[in-house]
Structures are given as C-alpha cells and as structure tokens.
C-alpha cells in the first residue's frame, strides 16, 4: 500500500508516478509551428479535462481514454489494466469531425490554441450504457445525462499535451498537483485531509473539517471551480466566502485553500471515487465523503457515495476515506451534531436546503448564525444582491 503517514514521503500518485503532459521548450515540436494542423475547439468540460490530465490530477491517464478503458470503466469501475477509475474521461465529437481529424490535432478553447491531441483511436460512444451505469439513470432531467446525450457520438482517444496551465480567475490559489505537493512538503504535514466542495461552506462543513483536523496535520480546502450547473453559487462568490471563513475561524498554518479546476458531472458515487483518487494525486492522505457527495436531485441514496468505496481495497485506493453522516445545528444541544451524537428529533434541528438558502439570499435576508458564520453570510448576501 502507498505510504500515507511516513514523514519522508507523500502518497504515491495513482499508477506510481505523477503524469506530466505539459509542453516544455526543447520538446519535439514548437506550438508556433503547429498552425497547419487541423483544429478542434474544446468546450468547458473538455478543456477542464485536458488540464486535469496534463497536470497529473487524473494520473495515470495520459490522455482521453481508449475504447478498452472506456468500457472497463463503465462496467467494472477500473481501467483495462485493473487500476481503480470510475468516470470515463472522453473527448466526444460528431461523425463529421471524426472523419476530418487524424493524427496530431491542435486543441483550441475560446479561440486560443491550448494543446494537442495525438489521435490513436476513434470509437462509438455508448451513451445509453454510460448513462445507465455511470449516472444510474437515463433521465435527461439529470444534468450529467443531458450533457452526455447532447455531445458527439464518436470518442477520440490518445495522449494530450497542454501548452500552459490556465490559472484562470484565481491565479493565487490555482496550483497543479505538483505545486500542492510542494506546499504540503514545505509545511511538514505528514497527513493531509482534502475536502471537495462546490457550495459555500456552512457550519456543518466547518464541523467536518475541524473533526478531521483533530486527526491529521493539515486541511486542503479544495473547491471545484470548473463548469457547474446554472443555479450553483458562482465561483467568485464562493472563493470570497472561503477566504473570509479561513481568515476568521481556521488556523492558518494548518489550512491550504487551492482550487480544483475539474468540471462537475453530478455522477454521485462514481464522481466521489474520482474526487478521492485525484486528491491522492494532489498529495492528500485522507478524503472526506459526506452526505450525497457529488449528487443532484434525488438520483442517489444519501450514503451511496460512501458505500461505493467498498468496491476497492484500501491498498488500491491509497487514500483513507473519512465517512461522515449528516450534520446540523441542534437548538437543544446548542452545538453542531450528527444523528450519532444528538438525542433530539428533527423538530430541534436547524436544517436549510440549498433552495431555501438561495431564496433568502435573493430576498436580501440574513442567514442564521447557527447555519453559517455571519461574515460568510454577508459575503453571500452581497454576492446575490449584485446586478
């Protein structure tokens, strides 16, 4: 099993080494000499996948997956060689584009050249199979299924090269896996717990973080800032809320805020596995999985994202999964609790749904301090009131 507590070593990346598919001067080609190549424009998710592959966040993937890996992931939650992996990272195109593209292809995004793909294989996407197995539904109301059905019918496979890491809207917090590992090593953390979020942090999340910090040396707060569905809180508001919270209520020497540039797929349990494995690549030794991780609507059971990890051995995962039940503020206990620690029924509990929170913010109302810290509530309120 990869070492995850030895002071001398960070966890071994999945596959043994951290993948690096970033262009460097002196390689066998210069980006400026590739303008004659056929070009393929990437959407937001494909561009995010390109970065995640090239920086090693999706190690051991070297590129968009081939057909053997694609089918093995869908059917067995593993690459064809048996390595754990639960989401097919594909590059779908139309039939016309598949016929047009061969060999090395120039990848563009928003009109800018961003990298290359060396096509090694083209194969048909099995959209219904993928929807049923990965998303556990064929319902097009599911945002992941809707995106799947809307994309091209042919998947392109092959290794990629990224010309430059896109630091995006949060350059100070945009670190590659290698850079996060450097920070962890510099701080001397022997154990690091990672927390995935696409929402502002409220008191229940804070409770999980601080329970975990009693067990490990450092917290990697790793919010997803890639493409999300339209009603999620915008990334810039979330980042301001995170910085405000960490500045007031967390020990600075034991916390690291760094963005996770992946796009959301809302694949629930399947996505939880990739979120954990990729955090191993970033250098985390532990990963928090709470209620309905990466879920949407009522497509997944409350703790399905925890149960799926039983499909793998601890040695295969190489990262320890911290499973937490639903937490909330109890008005009789006067503190954050869970069903394991609170004797009172639901009438004593303060629980606000995401919909209710958004309604209050749009109306300019204040969120109760038992739900979120006042400073964070003010950031959210201002964010929702802006034009």
Catalytic residue selected from 45, 136, 175, 198: 198
Could you give all domains of the chain from N- to C-terminal order, each with its CATH number?
A: 31-162 (3.10.400.10), 171-385 (3.40.50.620)
135/51 Cα distance (integer angstroms)? 23
> How does pLDDT run across 222-272, given as a tens digit for each residue?
999 988 776 678 889 999 999 999 999 999 999 999 999 999 999 999 999
Q: Are strands 218-223 and 255-257 parallel, antiparallel or unpaired?
A: parallel
Judge whether 275 and 85 are in contact, CB under 8 Å: no
Q: Whole-prediction pTM value?
A: 0.94
381/303 Cα distance (integer angstroms)? 31
**199 catalytically annotated:** yes
> How does pLDDT run across 138-160, given as a tens digit for each residue?
999 999 999 999 999 999 999 99
DSSP state of 170: -
> How does pLDDT run across 32-67, given as a tens digit for each residue?
778 899 999 999 999 999 999 999 999 999 999 999
Peptide bond into 60 cis (omega under 30): yes
Residue 185 phi, psi (nearest 5)? -65, -45
Catalytic residue selected from 20, 126, 199, 254: 199
Q: Where are the beta strands (DSSP E) in 126-189?
A: 154-162
């Amino acid at each position: 099993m990869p070492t995850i507590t030895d002071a001398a070593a960070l966890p071994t990346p999945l596959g043994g080494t951290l993948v690096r598919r970033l262009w460097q001067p002196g390689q066998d080609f210069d980006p400026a000499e590739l303008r004659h190549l056929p070009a393929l424009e990437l959407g937001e998710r494909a561009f995010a996948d390109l970065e995640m592959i090239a920086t090693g966040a999706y190690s051991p993937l070297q590129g968009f997956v081939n057909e053997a890996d694609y089918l093995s992931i869908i059917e067995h939650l593993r690459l064809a060689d048996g390595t754990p992996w639960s989401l097919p990272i594909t590059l779908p195109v139309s039939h016309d584009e598949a016929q047009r593209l061969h060999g090395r292809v120039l990848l563009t995004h928003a009109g800018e050249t961003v990298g290359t793909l060396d096509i090694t294989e083209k194969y048909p996407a099995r959209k219904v199979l993928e929807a049923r197995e990965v998303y556990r539904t064929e319902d097009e109301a599911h945002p992941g299924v809707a995106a799947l059905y809307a994309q091209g019918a042919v998947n392109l496979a092959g290794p990629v090269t990224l010309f430059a890491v896109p630091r995006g809207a949060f350059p100070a917090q945009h670190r590659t896996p290698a850079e996060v590992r450097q920070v962890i090593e510099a701080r001397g953390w022997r154990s690091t717990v990672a927390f995935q979020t696409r929402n502002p942090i409220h008191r229940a999340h804070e409770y999980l973080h601080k329970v975990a910090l009693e067990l490990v040396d450092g917290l990697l707060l790793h919010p997803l800032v890639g493409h999300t569905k339209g009603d999620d809180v915008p990334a810039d508001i979330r980042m301001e809320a995170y910085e405000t919270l960490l500045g007031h209520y967390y020990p600075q020497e034991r916390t690291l805020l760094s963005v996770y540039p992946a796009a959301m797929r809302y694949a629930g349990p399947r996505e939880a596995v990739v979120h954990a494995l990729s955090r191993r690549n970033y250098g985390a030794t532990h990963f928090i999985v709470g209620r309905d991780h990466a879920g949407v609507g009522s497509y997944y059971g409350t703790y399905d994202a925890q149960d799926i990890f039983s499909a793998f051995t601890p040695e295969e995962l190489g990262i320890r999964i911290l499973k937490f039940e639903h937490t909330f503020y109890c008005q009789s206990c006067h503190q954050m609790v869970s069903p394991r620690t609170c004797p009172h029924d639901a009438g004593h509990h303060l629980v606000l749904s995401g919909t209710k929170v958004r309604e209050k913010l749009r109306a300019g109302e204040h969120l109760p301090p038992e739900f979120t810290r006042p400073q964070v509530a003010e950031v959210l309120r201002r964010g929702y009131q802006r034009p």
